[in-house]
Structure 1
Amino acid sequence: MSLRSLLGGAAVSAMLATAAAGPAHAETIDATVVNGHPPVFLWVKTLSEAFIPAVDQALEGTDYDIDWMEAYGGTLANVGGELEALEDGLAQIGIVPSLFEPSLLSLQNVSYVTPFGSPDVDLVLTSVDDMHDEIPDMRKLWEEHDLVYLGGGFGLEDYLLMTQFPVDSIADLEGRKINAPGPAVNWLKGTGAVGVSGNLTTYYNDLQTGVTEGVIVFPTAAAAAKLQEVAKYVTRTHFGAQYAGGIVANKDWYDGLPDEVKAAIDTGVEAFAKAYRAGLEQRVQAAFTSMEENGAEISELSPEAQAEWANALPNIPMEWAKEQEDKGLAGTVVVETYLDKLRAGGAELPRDWTQN
């Protein structure tokens, strides 16, 4: 074989090797990912372990890669400060908990004003995600802060009641002081209970010192805080799973991304949603097992008692909807659409809030 042929074959081999290795000079895009909670929380853990790797994998073989800087646990923004950090461009992408933005992101809090919704986390999160594409005001609230909603809704599992006394009906709540987070205090109106605003940092001590006699909480938090030690009666009231936020990007940054990178981010969002919901289901099962093994007495509130409780409440959803309408937002459409989606997904709601 001639030297020319050998050299030609070597050149072809080198070209093939280079092509197989991918682009030699990929453009690197910087992205800071933010959330105020530490990675022990499932949504942060999933952001790091599912979203980012899925984006990186989707970018393999393209002309782009992303240099990620992960800023969690207050290193860049405290809990509730994520929206501002993204709006100001301090971070480019992250999880914004709409739960802590009841004024700025009021419509995203629809699940918290519709008690006794669906216990199905996947149904709740998918419903609110879809509503962002169906109701312009949902995206408008993000865009007013130069943000774009990407999806990947994260949430909290079916809320329940933990007390120092057994609960079979709302009659058992008469005169009892019950801790509840933020808007969930409204879930006690008309029941005879006294709602006491609180959060996970206060619940154990409040119960231990007699400030309260019960708490509205979700199972994974209850087990982690060992609340069964101070309130052993766990009543699965089925207040409903809750949408708490989603993956959001700074709009100026996102709009400037190449289409290949946007598509990779979409892939990451889908991976996040799938992994988060699977991980949450496992944690919920483990939480109930842990509580029961450590002294909790777990019971189900009957459908009749759920209906009695729901019908004792003021019409929280429609009162909230009117407040949104007064601000020029599609409050009624949001409530009606959300309830329709829950019913279409198989949820049996104990009260039709639209009928007053």
Structure 2
Amino acid sequence: MKLNKLALSGLIALGCATAASNAVAQQRINVNIGASHPTTNIWAYAMKEVFQPEVDRLLKEGGGKFEVRWRENYGGTLYKFSETRAAVKDGIVDVGMVGTVWENSAMPLQNVTYFTPFATTNHELLISIFDKLNDTHPALKASWTAQNMVPLSSLITDTYDIYANFPVTNMAALQNKKIHAPGTSANWMRDTGATPVEGALTTYYTNIQTGVTQGALSFASGIGPARVYEVAKYLTRVDVGAMYFGSVAANKSFFDKLPKEVQEAFVKAGKSASVAHGKHVTTSAVKAMETMRAAGLQVSDLPAAERAKWINGLPDIVTPWLQTTGDAGKSVLRAYFDELRARGVKPLRDWDKAAR
């Protein structure tokens, strides 16, 4: 059946009106997203590769009413590693990587793992625990809110070991050595004879190369991409443990103004990013070890007796933290260790006794 000109004109007009209506109905939202590290880094990888596309997918499947225009600021283009909290808190970015490891004064509760070393080496389990605690624990939730942030996805490290330009065959080998141990991880070096030095993966290579330090207490998935093994050719496995490093977080003032559908997409995408982050760290750590060994990295284990000296010889590093954080700190510590044991983990020191 042929359409007459009048009918055809009507259909064309209707189609144009519908298209115009859809165009008007879709709301574009600009989101500044960034990190102090490049997307090759484990903490930024899932932001770019999972969080962003997952938000896009969820919004499209939800009817396409909203569209996000991402303005990416990775690789420290807007802020450095020591400024991650302020960058998200103050809205320099709307969503960003927040390294709470560098924020013990402003966000001490988030650093509970750094005051309780030798608890677990399972970094994927750690993500699950802190995704839960950040969502449900009153003190942790209040801490994020006080910083004008909404945590979306937990960030972790794989287990810490010593990468140095000298072999560590026993604890005595650490005497008078300068070892990078950022933020609160400096506590792990107490009474070991070594001097902890502040720093980050972005600074280790040059500092070791130039003799500022002799090594770093760090993790394979970070050391590998940063190529630190080129100047620190000895890895001594200590297994200090995996650590909760911080979170991908949204600026709360920005987040609260988002439509409900977009908020929900952010939260769901954050959980997907958490899972992807854990798997990526596992894969990255394995690949990093293969690469580093092939490049000549000398790998050894700290003898069990020497490791026991380290674990049992550490002073009570958690009590000063509890004295600073009060009842909130005790509650977070108990909740963390309860979650560990509920998942079958047996920490090598019962740090939570101080909070019972």
Shorter-chain TM range is: 0.7 to 0.9
Map 1:28-47 onto structure 2 (within 5 A): 28-47=28-47
Q: How far did 1:57 drift?
A: 0.9
Deviating more after overlay: 51-60 vs 245-254: 245-254
Distance in structure 1 (CA, Å) of the matches to 2:209 and 2:77: 32
Q: How far did 1:206 drift?
A: 4.7
Q: How far did 1:54 drift?
A: 0.8
Distance in structure 1 (CA, Å) of the matches to 2:198 and 2:260: 46
Deviating more after overlay: 113-122 vs 247-256: 247-256
Map 1:154-303 onto structure 2 (within 5 A): 154-200=155-201, 202-208=203-209, 211-303=212-304
Distance in structure 1 (CA, Å) of the matches to 2:91 and 2:213: 42
Superimposed CA distance per residue, residues 123-170 of structure 1 (whole angstroms, 9 cap, x where no aligned partner): 1222222112332121212212322222x1112211101234443443
Partner residue in 2 for 1:348: 346
Deviating more after overlay: 198-207 vs 230-239: 198-207
Superimposed CA distance per residue, residues 34-61 of structure 1 (whole angstroms, 9 cap, x where no aligned partner): 3222333233232122111111111112
Partner residue in 2 for 1:338: 336
- TM-score normalized with structure 1 length: 0.85
Distance in structure 2 (CA, Å) of the matches to 1:277 and 1:132: 17
Partner residue in 1 for 2:65: 63
Partner residue in 1 for 2:142: 140
Partner residue in 2 for 1:126: 128
Contact 1:322 1:332 in 2 (8 A): no
Q: CA distance change for structure 1 residues 169 and 350 in 2, over 3 Å: closer, same or farther?
A: farther
* Secondary structure class of the residue paired with 1:330: helix
- TM-score normalized with structure 2 length: 0.85
Contact 1:116 1:310 in 2 (8 A): yes
Superimposed CA distance per residue, residues 166-221 of structure 1 (whole angstroms, 9 cap, x where no aligned partner): 43443443444433222222112122334344444554455455554443121133
Q: CA distance change for structure 1 residues 198 and 71 in 2, over 3 Å: closer, same or farther?
A: closer
Contact 2:99 2:245 in 1 (8 A): yes
Distance in structure 1 (CA, Å) of the matches to 2:264 and 2:21: 18
Map 1:308-347 onto structure 2 (within 5 A): 308-325=309-326, 330-347=328-345
Deviating more after overlay: 70-79 vs 222-231: 222-231
| Cα RMSD, aligned residues only | 3.1
Superimposed CA distance per residue, residues 28-84 of structure 1 (whole angstroms, 9 cap, x where no aligned partner): 222211322233323323212211111111111232112221122333333333333
Contact 2:34 2:74 in 1 (8 A): yes
Out of 80, 98, 105, the residue aligned to residue 100 of structure 2 is 98
Structure 2: which 5+ runs fail to align? none
Q: How far did 1:333 drift?
A: 1.5
Q: CA distance change for structure 1 residues 254 and 199 in 2, over 3 Å: closer, same or farther?
A: closer
Q: CA distance change for structure 1 residues 258 and 313 in 2, over 3 Å: closer, same or farther?
A: same
Identity %: 36
Contact 1:324 1:331 in 2 (8 A): yes
Distance in structure 1 (CA, Å) of the matches to 2:199 and 2:98: 21
